[in-house]
Amino acid sequence: MDADIDLDRRLGTRLKATRQGLGWTLDTLAERTGVSRAMISRVERGESSPTAALLDRLCAGLGIVLSALFREDHGAGPLARRDQQPVWTDPASGYRRRTVSPAGTGSQLEIVEVEMPAGARVLLDAPRSGFRLDQQLWLLEGELVIAVGEREHRLIAGDCLAMLLDGPISFCNPGAGTARYAVVLTAADHWNGRRT
């Protein structure tokens, strides 16, 4: 529980630093994301455990990928030991997200491992006008239904789906067991021409 509270505080601190780095007020971010000023303030102060959908809206509004919030500044190097990889659990769906890639290498690629409980569903519907997010999802265990826009994909273990995230996407585990998958992603930030 203490680790979750600490992670919420770190996420909030990073969100606030990113917002302030852009010179934006709480009102500006609220207007860009459709998230209330009060909710953004609670998240930035670490007083709220944000859901994946909420973090997605905030990150899309800021022009960053979700992974940017979980990167660790210390211990940068070519090796990321499993016990040092940041893990976050979505309070709404129970899905667990592990940032696998080592921090601070300068690589444009990022690897994330996700475990989605049976019956869980996550909808990410934030508009992404400032950047494009290219990713490939490799299903390691279980089954998964992914809807990208109007198109639905049913995956079984071993399947790999390449996606360009430029609109709504939903992930659903219709199976009786946990679905485990790896995501390899790269994001181009069109606002300033850099990778995030």
Checking if the pLDDT of 166 tops 80, the result is no
Confidence of residue 194 (pLDDT cuts 50, 70, 90): very low
CA torsion through residues 79, 82, 84, 90, sign: positive
**Any idea which residue has 């994301």 for tokens?**
33
- Long-range Cβ pairs for the range 156-160 (8 Å, 24+): 160/136
Rounded to 10 deg, the angle between the 2-21 and 37-44 helix axes is: 120
Asked if 125 and 103 touch (Cβ cutoff 8 Å), the reply is no
Checking if the pLDDT of 159 tops 60, the result is yes
51: closest CA among 90, 86, 1?
90
For residues 13-20, give the mean pLDDT. 95
Residues in the chain: 196
Domain ranges of the chain: 2-68, 76-195
144: closest CA among 162, 160, 125, 124?
160
Distance CA 183, CA 133 (A): 12
For residues 37-42, give the mean pLDDT. 97
Q: Which two tokens stand for residue 181?
A: 């998958």
DSSP state, residue 77? S
Distance CA 90, CA 176 (A): 19
For residues 149-171, give the mean pLDDT. 91
pLDDT at 191: 39
Question: How confident is the model over 43-90, as pLDDT tens digits?
Answer: 999 999 899 999 999 998 998 888 778 776 555 688 999 998 889 999
Q: Which fold has domain 2-68?
A: 434 Repressor (Amino-terminal Domain) (1.10.260)
For residues 23-29, give the mean pLDDT. 97
Distance CA 72, CA 110 (A): 13
Ranges of beta strands (E only) in the chain are 87-89, 96-99, 110-116, 121-124, 131-141, 143-148, 151-156, 160-165, 169-172, 179-189, 194-195
Q: Which CATH superfamily, name and number, covers 76-195?
A: Jelly Rolls (2.60.120.10)
**Any idea which residue has 């600490």 for tokens?**
6
Question: How confident is the model over 80-131, as pLDDT tens digits?
Answer: 999 988 899 999 999 999 999 888 787 888 899 999 999 999 999 887 665 6
pLDDT at 193: 39
Confidence of residue 12 (pLDDT cuts 50, 70, 90): very high
pLDDT at 129: 64
The CA–CA distances, whole Å, from 189 to 17, 62, 79, 108, 186 equal 18, 10, 26, 12, 10
